A and B are shown apart, each in its own frame.
Chain A
Amino acid sequence: MLKNLRISFFLAYKSITRGRKSISIALVVIMIMIFILLGFVSSILLGVTDAMNRQMIENMYANIVIEPGEDEDYIVKAPLLQRKINNIPGVIGSAAHYIVPATFTYDENKDGKDVKTALWTVDSIKPEEEIRVTDIHQHMVAGEYLEESDRQEIILGREISGGYGAQLPIKSLGGVKVGDEITLTFNNGVQRDYGVKGIFSASFPLVDIQAFITEREMESVLGVHNRASEILVKIEQTGQEGRYIEELRRIGLVKEKIHPWTDYIGMLSSVIDSLGKVRLMIAGFCLVVAALVIYVIIFIDITHKRKQIGILKALGLGKGIIINSYILQALFYAILGIGLGLAAIHFLLIPYFASHPLVFPLGFVSLVMTKNLLIFNSLVLFVVALIAGFIPSWQTARENILKAIWGR
C-alpha cells in the first residue's frame, strides 16, 4: 500500500518536474490569485463591518446606553449613579448627556438675509469625563474641543457646519467656520448665541451630524440639575456587554432602559448582512472557478495520457496508483498556490493597506485578515483541489482498458 503511494508520488513528481512548465506556472498563478481574492474580498468586507462597529462604539454609543425609564423624561441623580457605575470593575468610564432638539440658525452677514436654518439635536457633555468614553476629541478637524468652563461655545460635526469637506447633500448651515456665531433655539423656547469653537469629523455621517455644548450650559438652558437624557458606559472588553448590563441592574438601575450598542446597529445591520452575503457569494464564485480551472487542466492532461494510462493498466498497474498521482499533483498546485498566496498577503497586501487604508464613508478601512479566516480559506481551497483532481482522474482511470488504448 505504502509502495503504491510512493509510486503515485513518483509519477506526480515526474509529471510536475518534467511536464509542461507553462501549464504548471499558469495553474499556480491562478491558485495564488484565487487565494488572494478569496482572502481579500472577505477581509475588506470584514474591515468595513469592523470600521462601522468601531465608529458606533468609539464615537456614538460607547458599549452600553442607559436611558430613562418608561414615562420618565430624565435619569435622575445622574452623578450618584455614575459614581456607582464607575466603581464596577472593568468599567472604563461613563458619560451623562442631555439630548435636546434645537433649531440652528446662521446669519452669515448679520443682516437677516440669506439666513440658514436647520433642525438638529444638541447634546451636552462634561468634557473631562467624555474623553474617557468617546473619541470625538480625537477627530477635531478645526478649532478646539470643549473645556469644562466653556459656556458660550459649541462644537459642530462637519455635516452640520456644511464646510470642511462635508459630504452629505443635507440641510447644513452652509459653511460655518470656527469663530462664527450661530443661534440655537431649544425646543423649550430658550434662544442663545454660541461661538463655534471647533469642528469634528470621524468621516462617518452618523457621527458628523452631532453637536455638543457643555453640561453646565445645558442645565442653565433647561433649568434642571443632576439629570441626564442618557448615560454612556464604556467597558474594557467589548463583547461582554450582557454581563455588565446584569451588573447595572444589580446596582439599582431597575426601571431604566439599558441597551448594548449593538441595539443601535439598526439600518447598519442590513448593510452588514448584505456585506456578509456578498462575501459568501464572491467566495463561492472564487471556489467554483478554482475547481473548474484545476478540473479542466487535469482533465486536459489526463486526456492526453489516456492511452498511456490504458497501457499501464493493461500491464497490471492499479488504477488507484494513477488516481492518486493526479490527486497529489492537484494538491501540490493547491499547496503551492496557498503558500505563495499567504506570503503575498502577509508581505505585500497587509503592509500595503496598513499604510494606504481605503477611504469609505465610515473612516479608514484596512484589511481584517484573521488567522481563522486564512486557515479556513486554505482548507477550503485544499478540499476543492482534492475533488477537482479526483474527478477527472477517476473518470479516466476506471475507463475500460481497450477503450482507453484504442479510443473507442
Chain B
Amino acid sequence: MIKVENLKRIYPSKVPVEALKGITFEVEKGEILGIMGRSGAGKSTLLHQLGLLDNPTSGKIIIDDVDVLKLSDSGKKQFRLERLGYIFQEYTLIPELTALENVYLLSWANSKNRKDYKKAAIECLERVELGHRLHHLPHELSGGEQQRVGIARALVNNPKVLFADEPCATLDSESAEAILKLLTELNKELGQTVVMITHEPEDKRYVERIIYLKDGLIEKEERTVL
C-alpha cells in the first residue's frame, strides 16, 4: 500500500538539520503500523512526508500505486481529500461549526452528489460513538470527544490510509485508550491502512508492527503479538 524509498528531508538553515537521513520501508494494505522513537527522532517529519504535507529533499513515496511526489500541488490536495486521512495531536476543530458540520465539511468538499455527504458524516460520528453529540459545538465537548470528532473527520471520505501523529498525547489515559482501541477497531472493520506515531510503550499492543526511528534513520523493526 505504501512504499518508501531512501526518503530524506533536510531542513535548510545555517546548520542544516537532517531530520530524515534515508528511510526505506513498506506498509501492507490493511496493516496497522506504529512508529516509535525519542523526541526529535524524525517521526513527525516522516509522517508529514507520507501525508503530503511537506516536500522531502529526496526519495520516493508510492501510495496506492501512485507516485505521489510527482503530483502537482492541486493533485496532492485532491489526493489528500480522497484517499488520505490525518489525525493531529491537537484536536483542532472549527469553533463555529457543530461536530456534524466539522465532519461533513470534508465529505461535502469531496461529494459528487448532493445528498450523501451528511449521511456519511453522521455514520462516521456514530462509529466514534458521538451519535448523540452531532449538534454540539466544540467547546461543549470534552477533549476526548473532540479528538473523536477529529477522527470522524479524518475518516469521512473513507480514506485508503489513515495517519495519526500522537493522537492521544493531550488526552488523559482513559480517553487515550478508548481512542487507540477505536482506531484498531476501525482498522479491522474498514480494512484501512493505519500509520500511527505513539509515545507510550504500552501502546504497542494496539499495533501489528513497530518501526523504531533514531536520528532520522530506522533503528529496528519489531512485530507485535497483535
Using a CB–CB cutoff of 8 Å, the interface residues on chain A facing chain B are 3-4, 7, 10-11, 14-15, 17-19, 305, 307-308, 311-318, 321, 401-402, 405
Contacts and interface: CB of A to CB of B under 8 A. Distances in A.
B73 to A, nearest CB: 10
Which 7 A-B pairs rank lowest in CB-CB distance, beginning with the nearest? A316-B81, A316-B80, A18-B96, A14-B96, A401-B53, A307-B92, A311-B92
B123 interface: no
Nearest to B55: A400
B105 A317 contact: yes
Given A14-B97, A315-B153, A316-B110, A7 B80 contact: no
Interface stretch (B19-27, B31-39, B82-90, B218-226): B82-90
Contact of B80 (A3, A4, A315, A405): A315
B89 to A, nearest CB: 10
B94 A4 contact: no
**Chain A at the B interface: mostly helix, strand, loop or mixed?**
helix
B137 A18 contact: yes
A3 B108 contact: yes
Contacts of B92: 307-308, 311, 405
9 contacts: A14-B101, A18-B96, A312-B105, A312-B106, A315-B153, A318-B77, A402-B48, A402-B53, A402-B54
Contacts of B153: 315
Residue of A7, A19, A314, A321 most packed against chain B (CB within 10 A): A314
A314 B51 contact: yes
A393 to B, nearest CB: 15
Contacts of B106: 312, 315-317
Contact of B109 (A17, A314, A316, A405): A316
B78 A316 contact: yes
B81 A317 contact: yes
Contacts of A314: 51, 53, 80, 86, 88
Contacts of B157: 316
Interface of B: 48, 51, 53-54, 74, 77-82, 84-86, 88, 90, 92-97, 101, 105-106, 108-111, 137, 153-154, 157
Contacts of B80: 314-316
A11 B81 CA distance: 18
A401 B48 CA distance: 10
A302 to B, nearest CB: 12
Contact of B96 (A15, A311, A318): A15
Nearest to A17: B96
Residue of A307, A314, A316, A321 most packed against chain B (CB within 10 A): A316
A18 B77 CA distance: 28
A315 B154 contact: yes
A10 B104 CA distance: 12
A84 to B, nearest CB: 78
Contacts of A14: 94, 96-97, 101
Contacts of A17: 96
A11 B153 CA distance: 16
A311 to B, nearest CB: 5
Given A317-B81, A405-B88, A19 B96 contact: yes
Contact of A311 (B54, B84, B88): B88
Contacts of B94: 11, 14, 305, 308, 312
Given A14-B101, A15-B96, A308-B93, A317 B88 contact: no
Contacts of A305: 94
Nearest to A13: B96
B75 to A, nearest CB: 11
Nearest to A405: B88
A311 B109 CA distance: 14
Given A308-B95, A317-B106, A405-B92, 4 more contacts: A14-B101, A316-B106, A321-B109, A402-B53
Contacts of A18: 95-97, 137
B210 to A, nearest CB: 25
Contacts of B88: 311, 314, 405
B54 A4 contact: no
Contacts of B77: 313, 316, 318
Residue of B74, B94, B97, B157 most packed against chain A (CB within 10 A): B94
A18 B109 CA distance: 21
Residue of A7, A305, A308 most packed against chain B (CB within 10 A): A308
Contacts of B95: 18, 308
Nearest to A401: B53
Nearest to A400: B54
Contacts of B96: 14-15, 17-19
A317 B86 CA distance: 13
Contacts of B90: 307
A379 B178 CA distance: 55
B86 A7 contact: no
A322 to B, nearest CB: 11
